[in-house]
Structure 1
Amino acid sequence: MTFEAEQLGESGTELASLLRDLRKRAGLSGGRLAARCNMSQSKVSRIENGRTRPSLVDVEQILRALDAPPELVSEVSALARMANTEWRNVRELRRKGLGTRQAELKSLEASSTHMRYFLLSMVTGLLATPEYVRASLAHSTADTSKAVAGKLGRQAVLYDASKRFTFVLTEQAVRWPVVSPLALAEQMDRLASLSYLPNVQIGVIPVGAPTPRTPLSTFTIYDAALVTIETTAGSLVLRDGRDVPSYLKEFAGYEEHALFGEGLRVRLAEWSAACRA
């Protein structure tokens, strides 16, 4: 079974309908299936009605309870993997509006406890100065005022002591001239200042530092449940229980080779001084 990127958003509905049909063909009630899977009947109902996105483990439990043949297990499992993957192309993101995107990110941050950000080429809005935020959106032809306000408003979450943040940036992300040299120096000073927050860790991988692999994209991990990957073509969201751990492992590898604490602040001071010079 193969899928086009545009089908990813449809696969959740298709999976729910297919699981419901398989249960009915097996002659099982929702309650009997729930008992066989050690699930609540309400969860089975939510899965079959598309209100709850089942994990791959949930789907495998249901298929075993239905005595599904191997070829059907393989096909439904592929569909379940797609249902746990979401693709949003740039056109869709623009159509929904930059302000809406900021509201979605704020909701993700509010519902997460530990957030990990790997930043390949730019500073994220959570860490950015107002001038940097405005410059990062300068390419857009739409009204960016709501997006700027959204990005700056989201920064308040950094001061929520119940949450943890780990940012790993490449030297390129820190030093890329998104703004003028003086404004870039101010951005570096802000990174140094935020690194003192007890629940915020900021690390930088200097050019030339060894890394376990070559980074290809910016990504964010929300707890151990969801990964968002940013590309020039759009945004990919992964919820698969096999994908998220692989990104946690990749992030840990970059984290191991980054400068934190005083080492970070010394390096930022050197780069900031060079900008001001």
Structure 2
Amino acid sequence: MTFEPERLGQSRSDLAEAMRTLRKRAGRTQTWLARHCNMSQTKISNIESGKLAPAIVDVELILDALEAGGPIADEVLSLARSANTEWQDHWSSRRRGLDKKQNELARLEAASTEFRFFLLSMITGLLATPEYVRASIADVSGDQSKVVAKKLERQSILHDSSKTFTFLLTEQAARWPLLPPGGMAMQLDWLASISRIPNVRLGVIPLSGHIPERPLNTFTVYDRRLATVETGTGALILRDHRDVAAYRDDFERYEAHAVFGDDFRRLVGEWSETFTRQRQ
């Protein structure tokens, strides 16, 4: 399937129409289909009206119930995959206001319990000092105070004991000098402090030894239901269970090369001291 960002928003309505047409051609009612797929009639109705983007598993169940196969089934599954993928470009997010983006992230975090963050090139806002947060959005025009406040407010979720967090930073992400040396030393010290929160597992992948992996993007996995992948111009939101599982697998491979606990604190402590010496 060719990836066309401008088509992603249309895919849900195309899928809804295709599912509705398949059912009617098969001569089945929504009630019959719901019963044979172990779903509610309301869910079938929401899928066919485009109010709900069904999971790939749901689409496969419906296709089996309707005995639909061949090219038609392939096309419907392709639409379902697109409907489970969302593209958010940076320009649209900035036009709407980055504070609204922070609200969306807060809602997503509130609804999730298990988080995996792979940080390739920068420290994420949940781990950042106020100075680092301000530097990370320095290129955004207008009043940034709301965005900074909301980013810092979101950090309180790290102390919610009902949730678990695993953060993997590359050495590059941890040491990239986004701030002057003094600010970077404080940021690294803050990482060491956060690593002691009981439900937070914070690791770093040192640039030493042999690492046969080749990460391309920063990404986050929320439970087993959603993954976000950051690019230079936006972010992909993936809900297809195969995509989410693939990023969970990637995370596990990267995790095998990371150091945690006292070893983590020793490394970031050494890097903090290096930045401190640069101030002098």
Write out aligned runs for 1:106-255 (5 A): 106-255=106-255
Structure 1 window deviating more from structure 2 (88-97 vs 76-85): it is 88-97
Equivalent-residue separation in structure 2 for 1:116 and 1:216 (angstroms):
16
Contact 1:12 1:83 in 2 (8 A): yes
Q: CA deviation at 1:218?
A: 0.4
Equivalent-residue separation in structure 1 for 2:90 and 2:154 (angstroms):
22
Q: CA deviation at 1:49?
A: 2.0
Contact 1:212 1:253 in 2 (8 A): no
2:50 matched residue in structure 1: 50
Letter in 1 for 2:202: I
Shift of the 23–124 alpha-carbon distance from structure 1 to 2, 3 Å rule, reads same
Q: CA deviation at 1:140?
A: 1.3
For residues 136-191 of structure 1, what are the alpha-carbon distances to aligned partners after superposition, in whole Å with 9 as ceiling and x for unaligned? Answer: 11111232221111100100100100000000000111111111101100000000
2:63 matched residue in structure 1: 63
Q: Which runs of 5+ in 1 are unaligned?
A: none
Equivalent-residue separation in structure 1 for 2:268 and 2:155 (angstroms):
21
Equivalent-residue separation in structure 2 for 1:83 and 1:24 (angstroms):
21
TM-score for both structures, normalised by structure 1:
0.97
Equivalent-residue separation in structure 1 for 2:154 and 2:169 (angstroms):
19
For residues 223-261 of structure 1, what are the alpha-carbon distances to aligned partners after superposition, in whole Å with 9 as ceiling and x for unaligned? Answer: 011000111111101111111111001001111110100
Contact 1:135 1:178 in 2 (8 A): yes
Alignment of 1:276 with 2:279, yes or no, is no
Equivalent-residue separation in structure 2 for 1:148 and 1:64 (angstroms):
49
TM-score for both structures, normalised by structure 2:
0.96
Contact 1:98 1:147 in 2 (8 A): yes
Equivalent-residue separation in structure 2 for 1:191 and 1:209 (angstroms):
23
% identical equivalent positions: 55
Q: How many residues align?
A: 277
Equivalent-residue separation in structure 1 for 2:190 and 2:176 (angstroms):
15
Q: CA deviation at 1:89?
A: 1.6
Q: CA deviation at 1:39?
A: 1.8
Letter in 1 for 2:268: L
Shift of the 51–200 alpha-carbon distance from structure 1 to 2, 3 Å rule, reads same
Equivalent-residue separation in structure 1 for 2:84 and 2:148 (angstroms):
30
Q: Which runs of 5+ in 2 are unaligned?
A: none
Equivalent-residue separation in structure 2 for 1:69 and 1:225 (angstroms):
26
Contact 1:116 1:165 in 2 (8 A): yes
Contact 1:212 1:254 in 2 (8 A): no
Q: CA deviation at 1:51?
A: 2.5
Shift of the 265–2 alpha-carbon distance from structure 1 to 2, 3 Å rule, reads closer
2:78 matched residue in structure 1: 78
Shift of the 100–163 alpha-carbon distance from structure 1 to 2, 3 Å rule, reads same
Letter in 2 for 1:4: E
